[in-house]
Amino acid sequence: MDARGAQGGHGERIRRDAAAAAAAAAGTRLDPWFSSYAERAHGMRASEVRSLFAVANRPEVVSLAGGMPNIEGLPLDFLADMTSRLLRERGPKLLQYGGGQGEEELREQIVEVMRHDSVHAHPDDVVVTTGSQQALDLVTEVFIDPGDVIVAEAPSYVGALGVFRAYQADVVHTPMDDHGLIPEALDRTLGELAAAGRRVKFLYTVPNFHNPAGVTLSAERRPQVVEICRRHGVLILEDNPYGLLGFDSEPLPALASFDSQSVVYLGSFSKTFAPGYRVGWAAAPHAVREKLVLASEAAILSPTMMGQLSIATYLQTYDWFQQVKEYRQMYQERRDAMLGALSEHLPQAQWTVPDGGFYTWLTLPEGLNAQSMLPRAVTNLVAYVSGTAFYADGSGHRHIRLSYCYPPPERIREGVRRLADVVRAEQEL
């Protein structure tokens, strides 16, 4: 996990230009509108995760690839009654447009949820979004001109990298270790970029149970990261969808709890409740929040009323934190199944030990390539995401993201056993 810019050397650039020219020629033949696309659309492509979906979803394949939450334990009868009551009692509101910032009754609840991360916000600081994915898009739209730099962990969430690419940002990675972002390296990266005259707009970070690395930023490092960014005049984009899903400990204070004026905090109900409602949020300094609301209104007019009022009612009337505890226990059992199986079947690899969330990050033995190994893995009925998906510069070949969130423990163990067979076969080549 070392520091790397998105720019490769001269040879690499020539290779990329040649590949782009070939793609353009092929594109013109296949798509009559190819030459009409905006420049940013040429950078858009299906993520390695999405293109795996069709294969990974076949029942005979054990998928350690997707990051889908396991929502089997949700109280469906309660939700069915709640939804029908909501429609009967508040139908005209539920089925109407709402305000661009989101419903106040939900924003009040969101403020309570954020208290678990020691964030003390006001409902007016919050913008409700269509999942935190839309919040990522809005923040990037509001801050990034083509060529601006975003500093992001190496590796980084693939969905954020896709957004950053769409806005033509230049992503510069900064390294992590088992305790998250390394403050000294971050300081050095920001210093070098400033010395080179590059404009860094924000640091993108997932401090808790990182997707894909599985690590958590330590308590000691949190104020250091905030101080370094403040000193360099760099905003922090703190993405925290997994924060409440810690296995053994209470949540660490969010970066936003140290300096709410220098941090845009993103939260989501996708992992602690259900992703289908598509409700997330951003909490931001007042002027930024204003811009985010304007950008959101331009994009979607208003967030889903059905989703917002359903979640507000669920939070008000159900023991939602008990549900979170049940999720924690289920994911912990799955994490244990995965790490146990890795120790048993793949001792020649290394992996991170997540204290929460959905993922572990595997480092393959020297000489193996996760991307070129994938077809053999799929033939052997196991799917994973190659580490290359999580770097803006396509590096990460020796790494694999393994998700333990979805398959039951015995399938996880079977998946790891199959993966170990694949690794052994590759080592024998």
Q: Residue numbers of the site for ligand PMP (CB under 6 A)? A: 67, 131-133, 157, 159, 206, 211, 239, 241, 268, 270, 275, 280
* Least distance between ligand PMP and beta carbon 362 (Å): 18
3-state class (DSSP) for residue 236: strand
> What does the block give as tokens for 404?
């333990």
Considering beta carbons, is residue 107 or 345 the nearer one to ligand PMP? 107
Residue 423 C-beta: closest distance to ligand PMP, Å: 26
Pick 245 or 422: Cβ nearer ligand PMP: 245
> In this complex, which beta carbon is closest to ligand PMP, that of residue 338 or of residue 420?
338
| CA count, 13 A, side-chain hemisphere, 256 | 31
User: Which letter, b or e, does each residue of 244-275 get, where b requires 16 or more Cβ atoms within 10 Å of its Cβ?
Assistant: bbbbeeebbebbbbbebebbbbbbbbbbbbbb
CB of residue 288 to ligand PMP, shortest distance in Å: 18
How many H helices and E strands in the chain? 14, 14
Beta carbon of residue 351, minimum distance to ligand PMP (angstroms, whole number) = 18
Amino acid identity for residue 338 in this structure: M
Task: Report d(CA 370, CA 283) in Å as an integer.
Answer: 37
Q: Report the candidate in 406, 395, 385, 402 with the shortest Cα–Cα distance to residue 346.
A: 402
Beta carbon nearer to ligand PMP, 193 or 310: 310
| CB-nearest residue to ligand PMP | 131
Closer residue to ligand PMP, CB minimum distance, 204 or 420: 204
User: 176: which strand partners?
Assistant: 181
Q: φ and ψ at 128, to 5 degrees?
A: -85, 135
Q: Is the distance from CB of 258 to CB of 226 less than 8 angstroms?
A: yes
Least distance to ligand PMP, CB of residue 131, Å: 2
Q: At what angle do helices 131-143 and 286-300 cross, to 10 degrees?
A: 110
State the nearest-atom distance from the C-beta of 93 to ligand PMP, in Å.
24
Residue 26 CB, nearest distance to ligand PMP (Å)?
Answer: 31
Q: Which residues pair with 118 in a beta bridge?
A: none
Q: Cβ closer to ligand PMP: 278 or 413? A: 278
